[in-house]
Structure 1
Amino acid sequence: MTDPSRGGATPEVVVAADEGAVRVLTLNRPQVRNAIDMPLRIALAHALEEADLDPSVRAVIITGAGDVFCAGGDIATMRRMPPDEARSRAEAAQRVVRAIWRTPKPVVAAVEGAAYGAGLSLAMACDRIVVGDSSAFSASFTGVGLAGDMGIFASLPARVGVARARQMLLLPKRIDADQALAAGLVDEIVPAGEVLAAALHDASRLAAGPALALGAIKLMLSGSPRAPLDMLELEVEHQVRLFGSDDFAEGAAAFREKRTAHFGAVSHQESL
Structure 2
Amino acid sequence: MSAEPSSAGELLTVRLHTPIAEITIGNGTKRNALPGAEWTRLQHSIQELAEGGTTRAIVLRGHSGTFCAGSDMTEWVGAGAETVEDSFARMEAAFRAIEKCPIPVVAEIHGVAAGAGCQLALACDLRFMADSARIGMPIARLGIQTSPAFAARMVALAGPSLTRQLLYTGRLLDASAAVHAGLAEHHLPEAELGEHTARVLTAITEQPPAAVRAAKRAVAATLAPTREATRHNDQTAVALTDFRNTMATLFP
TM band (smaller chain): 0.7 to 0.9
Q: Provide the secondary structure at the position in 2 that maps to 1:185.
A: coil
Q: Provide the secondary structure at the position in 2 that maps to 1:23.
A: strand
Deviations 1:24-73 (A, max 9, x none): 00012311110121132122112111111111100000110101101122
Query: 1:75 corresponds to which residue?
Result: 73
Q: Which one of 23, 31, 35 corresponds to residue 33 of structure 2?
A: 35
Identity %: 26
* 2:67–2:111 Cα contact (<8 Å) kept: yes
Query: 1:219 corresponds to which residue?
Result: 217
Query: 1:177 corresponds to which residue?
Result: 175
User: Quick one: distance in 2 between partners of 1:114 and 1:40?
Assistant: 19
Q: Which one of 135, 138, 158 corresponds to residue 136 of structure 2?
A: 138
Query: 1:89 corresponds to which residue?
Result: 87
Matched, 1:105 2:97: no
Q: For structure 2, list consecutive stretches of 5 or more residues without a partner in the other structure.
A: 227-252
Q: Which one of 166, 169, 179 corresponds to residue 168 of structure 1?
A: 166
Query: 1:55 corresponds to which residue?
Result: 53
User: Quick one: distance in 1 between partners of 2:87 and 2:179?
Assistant: 31
* 1:125–1:151 Cα contact (<8 Å) kept: no
* 2:76–2:83 Cα contact (<8 Å) kept: no
1:217 maps to a residue whose letter is A
Query: 2:63 corresponds to which residue?
Result: 65
Which has the greater radius of gyration? 1
User: Quick one: distance in 1 between partners of 2:70 and 2:83?
Assistant: 19
After TM superposition, list the pairs within 5 Å mapping 1:170-249 onto structure 2.
170-222=168-220, 223-225=223-225
User: Quick one: distance in 2 between partners of 1:208 and 1:154?
Assistant: 31
User: Quick one: distance in 2 between partners of 1:146 and 1:39?
Assistant: 20
How far is the alpha carbon of 1:216 from its aligned partner?
A: 2.4
User: Quick one: distance in 1 between partners of 2:180 and 2:19?
Assistant: 31
Distance 1:47 1:194, change over 3 A: farther
After TM superposition, list the pairs within 5 Å mapping 1:13-32 onto structure 2.
13-32=11-30
User: Quick one: distance in 2 between partners of 1:28 and 1:147?
Assistant: 25
Distance 1:79 1:205, change over 3 A: same
User: Quick one: distance in 1 between partners of 2:147 and 2:46?
Assistant: 18
Query: 1:44 corresponds to which residue?
Result: 42
* 2:11–2:34 Cα contact (<8 Å) kept: no
Deviations 1:125-161 (A, max 9, x none): 1000011011011211112111345942221000000
Deviations 1:191-226 (A, max 9, x none): 113323322221221122222222222223224348
CA RMSD of aligned residues (A): 2.3
Paired residue total: 219
User: Quick one: distance in 2 between partners of 1:207 and 1:109?
Assistant: 16
* 1:114–1:135 Cα contact (<8 Å) kept: yes
Distance 1:76 1:62, change over 3 A: same
* 1:22–1:200 Cα contact (<8 Å) kept: no
User: Quick one: distance in 1 between partners of 2:75 and 2:22?
Assistant: 26
